[in-house]
A and B are shown apart, each in its own frame.
Chain A
Amino acid sequence: MTVFKAFRMVGQTGKGQFAYTVLGLLILLAAMSYVWLPHDPNYAQGWNAWLPMSLEHPLGTDGSGRDVASRLIAGTRITVLVAVGTGIVSGVIGVVLATAQTLGPKLLREPLAIFIDVLIAFPTLLMAIMFTAVFTGGIPIVIIAVGVGFGVQIARVVRAEMRQILGADYILAARASGVTGFRLLMRHILPNISSVLTVQISLSMGLAILAESGLSYLGFGAPPGVSSWGRMLEETQRYISIHPEVVFWPGFAITLTVLAFYLLGDALRETLDPKLTKKQVLRRTSLGVQG
C-alpha cells in the first residue's frame, strides 16, 4: 500500500479524524498568527494581570497582563516548527544511517551499529540539554538535538526493515536488470520502507513537541521573547494554586497536540501493518475498554 493511500484511509478512522482535526487546526492557527492575533503576545500590562475570561481576553491574562489566547496561538509557530523540523531531521538521519549500515562499505557497518547503540543509550532529553548547554539555547539547537536523538532510533527500525527488503526477490530482479547503488535505493528500497518511516516520523514529531516543551520549561528551549507552550507553563506554574485556569491552557494544548500525533502514528500503523488484521485491532480495542 502506498503511503498516500494510507493517509486517505486513516482519515476514515476515528483516531485519524481526531488527529487530522487537531493538526489541521494547529497549522491553521500557526499560519493565522503571522497575519492576525487578538493582542500582541508580548505586550505586558501590569494593571491587567490575572484578568478572568472575557470578550476582550477570551482566555484571560497571565501574571504580567499578557493575553493568554494570543500567547497560545503565537506558540503554535514554535510547535509546528519543532514538529516539522524534527520530523525532517530525524527522518533524514534515520534513513542515512540505516542506508550506510545496510549498503555502505563493510568496514563501516559494525562501528556504525555500535555508534547508534551508544547514542540510543543516551536519553534524548538529556542529550538535548547537553547540546543546548554547549551551543546555548534556541529552537534550532532543540530541533537538531531532538532530531538526532530520534533519528538514531528511527535508524534502528529502518535498518531492520531495509535488511528484510534487501533479501526480497524484486531487489535481486532489479539488480539482475543492472540497477545498482543510488538508483536501487531511490526506486526500490526507499518506497518500500516509506510506510515504516512515516509511522516512526509521526511518532517522533509528537515526542519532539513534548521534548521542546520540556526544554523550554527548563529554560533551554525558546528564548524569552518567543511564545512557547513550555515557557508559558514555566512562567505560570508557580501560581497554579491561585490561577489554575491560566496554567491549564498551555498544558491542554500540549497534551492535545501530542495525543494527535500519537493517534496519527497509531492509526497509520494499523492501516499499514499487514500483520495487524482488523480482528486483532478490534480485540485489542475492546480489551483496552475493559481494562
Chain B
Amino acid sequence: MSALPLKVSNLSVSIDDKKLLHEVSFDVAAGERVGFIGGSGSGKTLTALAISGLLPESAKITGSVKLDGKELIGLNESELAQIRGELVGMVFQEPKVALNPLRKLGNQMTEALDAHYTLTRKQRHEAALNLAVRVGLKEPSRITNAYPHEVSGGQRQRAAIAAAISANPGLLLADEPTTALDVTVQQGVIELFRELTTDGSSSLVFITHDLAVLTQIVERIYVFHEGKIVESGSVAEITTRPISRVAKELILAAESETTNKLLEAASFLNEPWEKS
C-alpha cells in the first residue's frame, strides 16, 4: 500500500449538544508526516477518532474527511470497518490497556491482517514474526507467544505499533504513543516511527502534547486549542516564530521539560551505587 493523502475540511463534532470540535480543517499530503499538538481536551484525539469513525454513536459529526479522495463521513459501521486497519492504522496512548489482556501478542499484532485477508495459521504466525522484527522486537518468537502482561511497556507499545501497521495502511494515526513510556524507551519508539514512515509508504498523523517529541518526527505542525486549530506551519516556523499564545506556552513547557530531564539525569548520576 502506498501512502494516502488525507483532506479534512470543516470537521465539527458535538456530543450531547456540546460542541467539542469547531470546524477543523487540515490536510496531509501522501507520505507527509504531520503533528497535532495541544493540551488535554483540545480535540486532538477527537479528530483522530473522527477520522477512523471510532467516536461513540451519540456523537454528531459534520464536515468532510476525505481519504485518498473518498469521503469517510457518513459511512456505516461495516464500510468503516473495511477501511480501519487496512487503510488507516491507529496506535493508542497506553499500550497496557490498548492490548487485550487475554490474547497472545502475536494474534493481536496480526488482528488487522486477519480481519481483511484470509490467512492460514502458519501464514499468520509468520506474519507476526516478520512484524515483530520490523518493529524492532528482540526475541520475536518469545514475544509473539507472550501475553501483554509478560512483556515490558516498551515491548507492548512496539507490539501495538506492529498491530497498527500489519496490513500496511496508507495512513497511520498515532495518538500520544510515547506519553506513557519512560524517556529512554520513548526515544526508541520515536525512532521506530521515523523508520516506518521515511520510505514514504504511509502518511503519519502524530498526536502529542510534547513539542520536543514532535520536532523529532514530523514536518508540519497543527496547534490545537479548545477544539480549534489555532496555528499551523512547519516545525521551524512554529518553534522559532510562534504566533499563538498556546504555541508559545508549549515551547516554554518543552524547554523547561528538557531542563528537568537533564537535571533528572544529573541527579541519577550523583546517586551512590549502594542505594540500589
B52, B82, B102: the one within 8 Å of A176 (CB)? B52
Chain A residue numbers with a CB within 8 Å of B94 are 169
Q: What are the interface flags for B155-169 relative to A under an 8 Å C-beta threshold, 1 for contact and 0 otherwise?
A: 000001001101100
With A2-B102, A181-B78 already in contact, 7 other A-B pairs whose C-beta atoms are closer than 8 Å: A173-B90, A175-B81, A176-B52, A176-B54, A188-B100, A188-B103, A192-B102
A169, A180, A183, A188: the one within 8 Å of B92 (CB)? A169
Distance between Cα atoms of A176 and B116 in the complex (Å):
12
Query: Would you call A174 an interface residue if the criterion is a C-beta within 8 Å of the partner chain's C-beta atoms?
Result: yes
Q: Which residue of the partner chain B has the closest CB to A179?
A: B115
Task: Kindly identify, within residues 163 to 197 of chain A, every residue whose CB is under 8 Å from any CB belonging to chain B.
Answer: 168-170, 172-181, 183, 187-188, 191-192
Query: Would you call B99 an interface residue if the criterion is a C-beta within 8 Å of the partner chain's C-beta atoms?
Result: yes
Output the residue of B82, B92, B167 with the most chain A CB within 10 A.
B92
Task: Kindly identify, within residues 82 to 108 of chain B, every residue whose CB is under 8 Å from any CB belonging to chain A.
Answer: 82-86, 88-90, 92, 94, 97-103
Chain A residue numbers with a CB within 8 Å of B78 are 180-181
B interface vs A, CB < 8 Å?
Answer: 52, 54, 57, 77-78, 81-86, 88-90, 92, 94, 97-103, 111-112, 115-116, 160, 163-164, 166-167
Query: Would you call A284 an interface residue if the criterion is a C-beta within 8 Å of the partner chain's C-beta atoms?
Result: no
Query: Would you call A275 an interface residue if the criterion is a C-beta within 8 Å of the partner chain's C-beta atoms?
Result: no
Chain A residue numbers with a CB within 8 Å of B86 are 178
Q: Which residue of the partner chain A has the closest CB to B82?
A: A178
Query: Would you call A106 an interface residue if the criterion is a C-beta within 8 Å of the partner chain's C-beta atoms?
Result: yes
> Is B115 in contact with A177, judged by CB distance below 8 angstroms?
yes
Chain A residue numbers with a CB within 8 Å of B167 are 178
Q: Which residue of the partner chain A has the closest CB to B113?
A: A177
> Is A187 in contact with B103, judged by CB distance below 8 angstroms?
yes
B57, B101, B102, B111: the one within 8 Å of A177 (CB)? B111
> Is B84 in contact with A170, judged by CB distance below 8 angstroms?
no
> Is A106 in contact with B90, judged by CB distance below 8 angstroms?
no
Chain A residue numbers with a CB within 8 Å of B89 are 176-177
> Is B97 in contact with A178, judged by CB distance below 8 angstroms?
no
Output the residue of B81, B116, B160 with the most chain A CB within 10 A.
B81
> Is B163 in contact with A173, judged by CB distance below 8 angstroms?
yes
> Is B57 in contact with A178, judged by CB distance below 8 angstroms?
no
> Is B92 in contact with A178, judged by CB distance below 8 angstroms?
no
Distance between Cα atoms of A241 and B120 in the complex (Å):
70
> Is B77 in contact with A173, judged by CB distance below 8 angstroms?
no
State the Cβ distance, B48 to closest chain A Cβ, in Å: 10
Chain B residue numbers with a CB within 8 Å of A177 are 84-85, 89, 111-112, 115, 163-164, 166
Output the residue of B85, B99, B111 with the most chain A CB within 10 A.
B111
> Is A170 in contact with B99, judged by CB distance below 8 angstroms?
yes
Output the residue of A168, A174, A180 with the most chain B CB within 10 A.
A174
Chain B residue numbers with a CB within 8 Å of A191 are 100, 102-103
Distance between Cα atoms of A183 and B112 in the complex (Å):
12
> Is B99 in contact with A173, judged by CB distance below 8 angstroms?
yes
Distance between Cα atoms of A176 and B166 in the complex (Å):
12
Q: Which residue of the partner chain A has the closest CB to B57?
A: A106
Chain B residue numbers with a CB within 8 Å of A175 are 54, 81, 84
> Is B98 in contact with A192, judged by CB distance below 8 angstroms?
no
Q: Which residue of the partner chain A has the closest CB to B90?
A: A176
Distance between Cα atoms of A178 and B88 in the complex (Å):
9
> Is A180 in contact with B100, judged by CB distance below 8 angstroms?
no
